[in-house]
Structure 1
């Protein structure tokens, strides 16, 4: 039985929870860095005298970087490993966020936001691929939705930082705080092993076996190898809270040539339906999310609320994301990916429609919270669904291209909203547009989606 098959049959171990927490913290930092810009933009509109179109461009340029980062990062992860790309992109977007605090003009901020986006785009599909490849089929949906739930915590952290820091110390300091996650790379590099599925696929069988035994809690005996933890060999290291002796890496390799996937193969008869489904799914969800939530604090400010009020309302809406994730996690392994995703996207569409019509604080908070609840729950299912539709050799590439294409929606949406508002088009019409996009997403799920609940990941090969 292959290592991949044995992973599918494992019960949930202590390792899985520690991996979820470790990757989740990285995910939280991703969200925090993404969220900070949303709260800085209303301030910059006043401080720099930016037009709505310029604000939209700042939101969009980060998505340009995310699109390229997802495509390049996912493809590289299928060649050099998930762990290396995860670590590198974490450092990249954290440092770039700190550089945003040094921005001296609209143009310089565009450059730094592009770099932030590139790092974020490279990390997200790789992180979810890494966690999915460690998690057994029976629990994969729950674990990946819970991983995505850390996004809500990061966005909430960004809201709190902005609420407390920006009025007192200015927007620069908020960006400087966003650089702190770069230090987390030292923990990730030491304690997170490489995916055993990736190692097995690339013929590094002794290393894959050693990682599997560690995950399963078995004594690896004389079969120890480099677990992908740290960079040294022949030294002791603390691995997942217990002492592990790491011998020199095995130089043995399977001489079988690894069949690398190409972009063209993603559109072959084998994968065509899945690729079209995922690309359309990612486009619609990313378009609606970044169009709505990048502009949310600014839209509230346009409606006449003070910056402090706008930030406090967004914090309330962000809190609703957390039960949204947990609800999605509860249903995704019980009733399946397809019906849960369709329900949550439909809920987002309905909430967006009524949010656009809201004319009181109560309606804004109620429908804004429901919009957050359903939209972020849908994101959790999206990240569960995507890696399950490709085999190991194509997983990083397939997920990366799907996310990259989706980012085109994220590039367009903030700019489209900016131009609509700049042309004095009402917020009601803006949210009616998002409602229509989300209805099309529901149709895509129902027509092209396939159920993957409980299915071993490499059955798609």
Structure 2
């Protein structure tokens, strides 16, 4: 007699207060990620003055957190496929918050660089796992929307970093921005008490009692008597190899490419936009407000992108977003009027940060449970090459002292590359080889 699957229980459930709680905790973690990653961009101008750093050094320093994210995504995030999402998430948010708070007490670029690397490594492992957890609790009808909704809170963190910088730096200096970064430690006890483990992970690891306890909260009205957790130890081997074998190589490489282009645009703009606007003659306070507008656009773009992807396709939505990014950034190069400037910044944020939310949702849906943290972690990790390049290339562009218009035209190029990569993604399912069969996961169109 066939058993009821965990996937069917979760997919068919209605949204409950339990779902809202899980989504709220994951959204709070995304705010932490957004704040920690954007915070450096809000203080870089003051650091350059105080520590007498040139643009290239400042850009390299900004990239160290992204190098850490690459390491965390590729080598720490996959541990959750073996040990569970929950323990890894609790560890990573604690480490990231302590390291980010400690940045306030640094006295030079070397100390700050080491701590920013640690922050990045913890966040690089954290983000793929709470996005995977969101997907693993989301009902089928709203999965893409909920994943992109959680992703959109990156912009809330970014806006918070900019607003705090505007109001705190005149009083406490740049160190005040990092004092605030220690506040997420207050979230840890809440996560310890309420954060559940992934039901799919519990099922794959044969933890029947814990599985039924979680599923009873997912759908309290459902009869769970025929749900059985069956351990499958064979899936624990060669997870990374599965990403590029059995016909998966092309899609994985293309996913890595548009992750990289997305992150290059997002992190490059969040690091250097205030400085670019200063070169155009804006005061520092006005230049920092451009980050606020960029990240407001990112939040709206992420949520709308999830809604659109559910009703259209992931591929079509991503091509549209990459094209919008390129066009809006070229528009910014013409030094527009204030109204048009804010409109273009909003569109640029919606397209770049919004696309970053959609590619995460795409990857979460593309990779099956047994390799999901590995697949999303590697996509995000390799994508960090683009993120690392964003601040570094931005610093190099500023060092070249190019005309304002040429800076923004150069920044628009990754949008074109990303659109091309998405457009040629093969419409194939992820294939997982097992001793008795080759199974496939649903493909996000």
Write out per-residue CA displacement over residues 269-288 of structure 1, whole angstroms, 9 at most, x where no aligned residue: 24223211211111111111
Q: What does the per-residue CA deviation read over 1:117-175, in whole Å, with 9 as the maximum and x for residues that have no partner? A: 11111111111011111112221011011101111111111111101000121111110
2:21 corresponds to which of 18, 21, 26: 18
Match of residue 241 from structure 1: none
From 383, 397, 401, the equivalent of 1:420 is 397
Relative to 1, partners in 2 of residues 1:451 and 1:263: Cα closer, same or farther, differing over 3 Å? closer
On the 8 A contact 2:262/2:353 being kept in 1, the answer is: no
Give, in whole Å, the separation in 2 of the partners of 1:164 and 1:356: 29
1:154 aligns to 2:131 (yes or no): no
Structure 1 match to 2:129: 126
Task: Mark the CA change 1:451 to 1:20 in structure 2 (over 3 Å): closer, same or farther.
Answer: farther
- Report what 1:443 is aligned to: 420
Is 79-88 or 325-334 further displaced after alignment? 325-334
- TM superposition shift of 1:22: 1.4
Q: Is the 8 A contact 1:261 1:394 kept in 2?
A: no
Task: Identify the residue that residue 148 of structure 2 maps to in structure 1.
Answer: 145
**Cα distance in 2 for residues equivalent to 1:214 and 1:298:** 49
Change (3 A) 1:383 1:253: closer
Question: What's the CA shift for 1:222?
Answer: 10
Alignment match, 2:249: 272
- The 5-angstrom pairing of residues 172-321 of structure 1 reads 172-218=175-221, 254=231, 257-321=234-298
Deviation at 1:214, TM superposition (A): 1.6
SS at match of 1:339: helix
Kept in 2: contact 1:390–1:457 (CA 8 A): no
Call closer, same or farther: CA 1:197–1:404 in 2, change over 3 Å.
same
Gaps of 5+ in 2: 430-438
2:42 corresponds to 1:39: yes
Match of 1:368 in 2: 345
Q: SS where residue 164 of structure 1 aligns? A: helix
1:358-437 map, 5 Å? 358-437=335-414
3-state secondary structure, aligned to 1:295 = helix
Residue 83 of structure 2 corresponds to 80
Contact 1:3 1:209 in 2 (8 A): no
Residues 10 and 373 of structure 1, relative CA distance in 2, 3 Å threshold: same
1:341, distance to aligned residue in structure 2 (A): 1.5
TM-aligned CA deviation for residue 389 of structure 1: 1.0
Which shows bigger deviation, 307-316 or 14-23?
307-316
1:70 aligns with 2:79: no
Distance across 1 between alignment mates of 2:255 and 2:323: 17
- Matches of 1:176 and 1:202, distance apart in 2: 40
Task: Give the CA deviation at 1:406.
Answer: 0.3
Q: Which residue of 2 aligns with 1:53?
A: 56
The separation in 2 between residues aligned to 1:300 and 1:431, in whole angstroms, is 11
> Do the aligned partners of 2:13 and 2:139 also contact (CA within 8 Å) in 1?
yes
Give, in whole Å, the separation in 2 of the partners of 1:254 and 1:444. Answer: 37
Please say if residues 360 and 376 of structure 2, whose CA atoms lie closer than 8 Å, have aligned partners that are also in contact: no
Superposed CA deviations along residues 253-299 of structure 1, whole A, max 9, x for unmatched, are 84754443432221102422321121111111111111222111121
Instruction: Confirm or deny: 8 A CA contact 2:9 2:219 kept in the other structure.
Output: no
Hey, which bits of structure 1, 4+ residues long, moved more than 6 A?
219-223
Assess, with a 3 A threshold, how the Cα gap between structure 1 residues 449 and 306 changes in structure 2: closer, same or farther.
Answer: farther
Unaligned 5+ segments in structure 1 are 224-251
- 2:106 aligns with 103
* CA gap 1:263/1:281 in 2 versus in 1, 3 angstroms: same
Pair 48,6 (structure 1): closer, same or farther in 2 beyond 3 Å: same
Deviation readout 1:217-240 (Å, 9 max, x if unpaired): 2489999xxxxxxxxxxxxxxxxx
Shift of 1:97: 0.8
SS in 2 for 1:268: coil
Is the 2:205–2:232 Cα contact (8 Å) retained in structure 1? no
2:436 corresponds in structure 1 to none
Q: What's the TM-score once normalised by structure 1's chain length?
A: 0.88
Q: 3-state SS of the aligned residue for 1:320? A: helix
Shift of 1:445: 1.0
Partner residue of 2:11?
8
Cα separation, partners in 2 of 1:364 and 1:45, compared to 1, 3 Å: farther
What displacement does 1:451 show?
8.6
Q: Distance in 1 between matches of 2:419 and 2:225?
A: 53
2:350 and 2:417 mapped to 1: Cα distance?
A: 20
2:366–2:442: 8 Å Cα contact kept in structure 1?
no
